[in-house]
Amino acid sequence: MTTLPSADADSRLESLYRDQSRELWALFYAYCGNAERAQDAVHEAFLRLQQQTTEEIRDPRAWLLQVGRNWLRDQARRKGNSTIKTDLLDVHPGTREEPVSDLLGSEQRDQIRAALQALKEEDREALILRYALDWSSQRIGETLGSSAAAVDMRLSRARQRLANELEQRGYEND
Amino acid sequence: MTERNTSSERLSERDVDRLLQRFFVREVPAEFRQEEAPVAIANPQLEPLVRSATPTPSRNLAGLLGILVSATCCLIVTLFIPGESTEKVSTNPFPVVGGNTRPQPDADRSVPFEERNHLPFTSLGNPDDATGSETEATDPLGPELEIEIFPLRPDKPRE
């Protein structure tokens, strides 16, 4: 049980951020399909947790997840349901982080985002936890409440479905 | 609705695997990438959290290095400082001979050397007391023999 207004609340919040922020981002990204909006949702959830003074929070992770999703839903209502984001102003081609040969074009990235959003949420979550966070099947299973073998099967099916979705959107394989 | 692409190769599972790896290299914000340096974020209120959440392998390495340096210095100091146990200067003027470890009497410089007795002593008592009995030795190692060389006393007849 977490009671926020205490002498070491800041250190506990810091520890919680360190432990949970990546996973929360991945789950918010699976929910909304927008990397920046998911990042904002993480920040918003922790800000509200920091400002929380009256409620005793039994499960901070679940609380943060719920607050973040609620915020994303509100944002979607205000700005529309567009989840496609152009990233033309992102990292310039040929940077140290990503050689030119590894770059995906903006159109390809948009197609991948759209295809991901077309999947079932559980398939999307499994793919994002694996490829965005590089989690093992066992760890994904612990988060999603299934076994490592079941996660492997889900990932395999999710990849096949994603391939179908990409083909339907005219994705051209390099 | 986009037409189904039949001209290009169908995407295999392996293709999708490689594709997703490439996709998420840029898709994940720098803040949430593993082993990445912290970057400035839009919300300054959360900046302390972000900076502290970022792993700092250099800090851990520096701590380990400090421990190693300290341990090495302690070891060097221990080896090179002369310890009390390494060399003991004996103040006993009567060095033990033949493994005898009983305490030796202090050298009496006034007594001629030839009269000094290097053997352990056992007091036999004063013969003038005529007790006829030896003083019991209290030394668990054995009685101490105290041999005194008396000059002949001309004023007392020999017994």
> Residue B52's closest chain A neighbor by CA?
A14
pLDDT at A122: 93
- A8 φ, ψ to 5°? -105, 30
Task: Residue count of chain B, please give it.
Answer: 159
**B53 and A172 in contact by Cβ < 8 A?**
no
Q: Decide if A102 and B32 are in contact by the 8 Å CB cutoff.
A: no
- CA-to-CA distance for A29 and B57, rounded, in angstroms? 28
Smallest Cα distance from B67 to chain A, Å: 25
Interface membership of B45 toward A (CB under 8 Å): yes
The distance in angstroms from the start CA to the end CA of chain B is: 143
| Distance between B39 CA and the closest CA of chain A, angstroms | 13
pLDDT tens profile A122-170: 999 999 999 999 999 999 999 999 999 999 999 999 999 999 999 998 8
C-alpha separations of B29 from A79, A139, B38, B112 in Å: 22, 21, 11, 98
Average pLDDT over residues A23-37: 95
CA-CA distances (angstroms) from residue A148 to A19, A90, A132, A136, A143? 21, 35, 18, 8, 11
Q: How far is B70 from chain A (nearest CA, A)?
A: 30
Q: How far apart (Å, rounded) are the C-alpha atoms in residues A89 and A106?
A: 10
**Nearest CB to A167 within list B10, B45, B49:** B10
| B10–chain A nearest CA distance, Å | 7
Q: How high is the pLDDT of residue B44?
A: 57
How crowded is residue B146: how many other Cβ atoms within 10 Å of its Cβ?
15
**Set of chain B residues whose Cβ sits within 8 Å of the Cβ of A127:** 20
CA distances from B13 to A58, A71, A113, B16 (A): 41, 35, 17, 5
Mention every residue, 6+ apart, whose C-beta is less than 8 A from residue A117: A33, A83, A124
Mutate to test the interface with A, among B4, B8, B18, B24 (most CBs of A within 10 A): B24
Q: Do B10 and A163 touch (CB under 8 A)?
A: yes
Regarding pTM above 0.90, the answer is: no
- Name residue B97's amino acid: V
3-state secondary structure of A2: strand
* B155: number of Cβ within 10 Å: 5
Q: Which phi and psi (to 5°) does residue A28 adopt?
A: -70, -35
CB-based contact (8 Å) between A135 and chain B? no
Give me the tens of pLDDT residue by residue for chain B, a chain 159 residues long: 444 444 456 889 999 999 999 999 999 999 998 754 444 455 556 666 665 555 555 556 667 777 788 888 888 888 877 655 555 555 555 555 555 555 555 555 566 655 655 555 555 556 565 555 554 445 555 555 666 666 666 665 555
Question: What is the token pair recorded at B80?
Answer: 């090179």
d(CA B11, CA B4): 13
∠ CA(B73), CA(B78), CA(B82), 5° rounding? 135
Looking at the DSSP bridge assignments, the partners of residue B122 are B145
Q: Are A100 and A132 in contact (CB under 8 A)?
A: no
- Is the ipTM, as predicted for this complex, more than 0.90? no
